[in-house]
Amino acid sequence: MNSGKFESIRKKIEQGDRLNRQDAEALFKWPDILDVGELAHLVRTGLHDDRAYYVVNRHINYSNICVNGCAFCAFGKRPGDPEAFELAVEDIIGKLNEPGSHAITEVHIVGGCHPELPFDYYEEIIRAVKSWRPDVIVKAFTAVEIAHIASREGKSVAWVLERLKDAGLDMLPGGGAEIFAPSVRARICPAKISGDEWLEVMRTAHRLGIKSNATMLFGHLESFHDRIDHLLKLRDLQDETGGFVCFIPLPFLAKKSPLRDIPGPTGVDILRTIAVSRLVLDNIPHIKAYWVMLTVKLAQLALFFGADDFDGTVIEEKIGHMAGAESEEALTREEIEYLITSAGFRPVERNSFFEPLTK
């Protein structure tokens, strides 16, 4: 690529113009990632100055039993597998009552596509968490779980979302998007809903006033073209609904996953992908450096490559760690603030919707 192309992209960014597919391709090919990072940092700083957000939250997995059997996933287990588990609603509340969870403002609840759990169970989880603490934000069930629950109940996605919203659901997490390209999904997650179905669940959620995040799993069998296509589809839906709060690029962790022969993305590829995401997704306000998958050291660097959010305290994490994540399972508020401050940014505690919280 010649430097003229890079300069034309720089100009677009400086003028606030939208990048197109060719621009994104050029950014993936440009040899110096520091140039790409500099542009992403310009955008990130324009939006968020020196703020780096974090949330005091807790993850809870209600079950890892899953009928999908995705090739990249070490978390999901078939029914009867010795590592399969399923929590009763009381167990979930028990986790919230453990020391360390008292200050959380968000509960992130996800599981697999369970073949048998009744609809009441999902409603009860949300009601129980809300009665544990009415002001805690419940971010629960990926678009994949919502579609699965709807299909098991023989109801529409809108019906499921409306019922869960009535029970107290505040927001959907961004998981399960993987990569939208059908040819790659056919190899890594053939039983999962299609990318278009994932987008349709999110469209419905946003129409019903339920905001969500969005993810992209990268560094497995997909091409740069597939990544760009994924980002552009999210950007198109965001133009339509405005319902995405934050985008989370998830580097594939291969080590203990069924696809363990694939090396997974390098650090440079991860930083470049975060930067390109910031530059292409001009209508999604926040980009998360999810330290669990990135490691805290790379997450710090990601703050210079377009990311503005460090995610959270998490407390208990299974999806990444069962796949071989090398990070801790939890960070304290003080540790996160130290990591952000020592990278030269200003830590801002936020709620799930990125409203700043004063301590």
Annotated binding-site ranges for S-adenosyl-L-methionine = 72, 178
Q: Strands 346-349, 106-110: parallel, antiparallel or unpaired by DSSP?
A: unpaired
Would you give the end-to-end CA distance of the chain in angstroms? Answer: 49
Identify the residue among 101, 204, 238, 257 touching ligand V47 (CB under 6 A): 257
Least distance from ligand V47 to the Cβ atom of residue 171, Å: 8
Rounded Cα distance, 306 and 11, in Å: 17
**Residues flagged as binding site for [4Fe-4S] cluster:** 66, 70, 73
On whether the CB atoms of residues 161 and 210 are closer than 8 A, the answer is yes
Strand order in the sheet with 211-218: 57-61, 106-110, 137-140, 171-172, 211-218, 244-251, 286-287
Rounded Cα distance, 131 and 125, in Å: 10
Which two structure tokens, joined as six digits, stand for 163? 């019922």
Q: Nearer Cβ to ligand V47, position 9 or 238?
A: 238
- Return the range that interacts with ligand V47 (CB under 6 A); candidates 11-19, 81-89, 129-137, 244-252: 244-252
Which amino acid type is present at position 293? M
Residue written as token pair 């020196």: 50
Least distance from ligand V47 to the Cβ atom of residue 276, Å: 18
Q: Nearest residue to ligand V47, using CB?
A: 175
Rounded Cα distance, 168 and 124, in Å: 10
Q: DSSP secondary structure string, 112-143?
A: ---SS--HHHHHHHHHHHHHH-TTSEEEE--H
Identify the residue among 210, 323, 339, 340 touching ligand V47 (CB under 6 A): 323
Total number of residues binding ligand V47 (CB under 6 A)?
Answer: 22
Q: Interaction with ligand V47 in 34-73: which residues (CB under 6 A)?
A: 72-73
Least distance from ligand V47 to the Cβ atom of residue 42, Å: 25
Q: DSSP secondary structure string, 168-198?
A: T--EE--TT-----HHHHHHH-TTSPPHHHH
- Return the range that interacts with ligand V47 (CB under 6 A); candidates 31-39, 167-175, 271-279, 331-339: 167-175
Least distance from ligand V47 to the Cβ atom of residue 216, Å: 8
Q: Nearer Cβ to ligand V47, position 92 or 217?
A: 217
On whether the CB atoms of residues 56 and 311 are closer than 8 A, the answer is no
Q: Nearer Cβ to ligand V47, position 19 or 143?
A: 143
- Return the range that interacts with ligand V47 (CB under 6 A); candidates 198-206, 209-217, 271-279, 330-338: 209-217
Least distance from ligand V47 to the Cβ atom of residue 253, Å: 4
Least distance from ligand V47 to the Cβ atom of residue 56, Å: 14
Q: Nearer Cβ to ligand V47, position 216 or 276?
A: 216
Rounded Cα distance, 99 and 82, in Å: 28
Residues that bind ligand V47 (CB under 6 A): 72-74, 142, 173-176, 178, 213, 215, 217, 248, 250, 252-253, 257, 290, 293, 311, 319, 323
